[in-house]
């Protein structure tokens, strides 16, 4: 198993109620996990948000914390509820009504990676699955909750920017923004997870950097956005999805020639978002 669960990169001085997080960029593929999967080292990484933690690594320099997962998404998916368990993967689990994520093999302990490639031959024991949830899922979410609590206590509100990347094929068929396909998709569950003011500010930061932005299509936000977005309580959550083709070779899973330029661009976005001041943002209506 991966030795550590997450890492919190903290600023020298907390200057904003914004918290950045990357739950899917973990790349600590332990030998014990690799020995369990029927996929090779390249295939097992296909659903990873590769290098997203590097793209947003400058967040602490702008006075905000950055929480990154170390365990890979294929091992435990931190953007799922702890009870999103898959009967097709877990031994002895009773069949019950499933949501589409679990039914497709993408529960808290995934059964498949990208393109429906099976991770295992056979099933996992309930004790192994529970151990992963106890050792990795709960500590990550406890750390996230503490960062948001600290932000709200000090600045009057907390704003979670949940950072992800999306396969280019997910937006190839889309036509947005005057015919332009989105390079960034912001998800606030159609307004349920963040106030309009917060969402507008984050969208303007990306547009101001020259990026084409779409809201809630094709991704509106998953468990983390749903669980932590409480705008009526001055806690907002916005999921950010960045087109992987902008910064990496998806087939080789390695940065491309535009990586440094995009990272520099995102530094300006992080700077702008981190300037959201809890004392200046109005309380969302119930």
Nearest CA-CA partner of 15 in 159, 187, 155, 223: 155
Mean of pLDDT values over 135-155: 97
pLDDT of amino acid 93: 87
Phi-psi region of 122 (alpha: psi -120 to 50; beta: other; left: phi over 0): left
pLDDT of amino acid 4: 75
Dihedral of alpha carbons 201, 218, 227, 139, sign: negative
Sorted by sequence, the CB contacts under 8 Å of residue 116 that are 6+ apart come out as 104, 105
Contact 31/161 with Cβ under 8 angstroms? no
DSSP bridge partners of 124? 90
Token reading at 115: 């393109």
pLDDT tens for 60-109 read: 999 999 999 999 999 999 999 999 999 999 998 887 777 888 989 999 99
pLDDT tens for 223-276 read: 999 999 999 999 999 999 999 999 999 999 999 999 999 999 999 999 999 999
For residue 285, CA distances in Å to 157, 161, 194, 233 come to: 14, 21, 11, 9
Contact 114/72 with Cβ under 8 angstroms? no
Task: Give the predicted TM-score (pTM) of the model.
Answer: 0.92
Please determine, for residue 178, whether its predicted confidence score (pLDDT) is greater than 70: no
């Amino acid at each position: 198993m991966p030795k550590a669960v997450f890492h919190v990169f903290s600023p020298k001085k907390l200057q904003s109620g914004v918290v950045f997080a990357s739950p899917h960029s973990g790349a600590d593929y332990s030998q014990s996990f690799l020995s369990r999967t029927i996929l090779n080292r390249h295939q097992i990484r296909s659903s990873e948000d590769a290098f997203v933690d590097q793209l947003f690594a400058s967040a602490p320099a702008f006075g905000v914390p950055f929480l990154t997962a170390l365990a890979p998404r294929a091992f435990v998916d931190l953007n799922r509820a702890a009870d999103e368990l898959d009967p097709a993967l877990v031994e002895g689990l009773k069949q019950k009504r499933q949501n589409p994520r679990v039914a497709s093999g993408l529960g808290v302990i995934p059964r498949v990676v990208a393109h429906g490639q099976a991770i295992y031959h056979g099933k996992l024991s309930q004790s192994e699955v529970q151990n992963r949830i106890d050792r990795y899922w709960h500590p990550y979410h406890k750390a996230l909750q503490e960062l948001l609590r600290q932000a709200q206590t000090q600045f009057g509100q907390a704003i979670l920017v949940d950072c992800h990347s999306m396969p280019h094929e997910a937006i190839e068929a889309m036509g947005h923004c005057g015919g332009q396909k989105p390079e960034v998709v912001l998800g606030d569950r159609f307004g349920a997870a963040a106030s309009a003011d917060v969402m507008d500010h984050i969208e303007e930061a990306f547009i101001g950097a020259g990026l084409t932005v779409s809201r809630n299509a094709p991704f509106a936000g998953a468990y983390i956005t749903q669980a932590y977005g409480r705008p009526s309580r001055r806690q907002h959550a916005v999921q950010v999805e960045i087109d992987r083709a902008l910064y990496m070779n998806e087939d080789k899973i390695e940065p491309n020639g535009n990586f440094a330029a995009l990272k520099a661009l995102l530094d300006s976005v992080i700077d702008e978002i981190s300037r959201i001041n809890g004392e200046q943002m109005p309380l969302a209506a119930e």
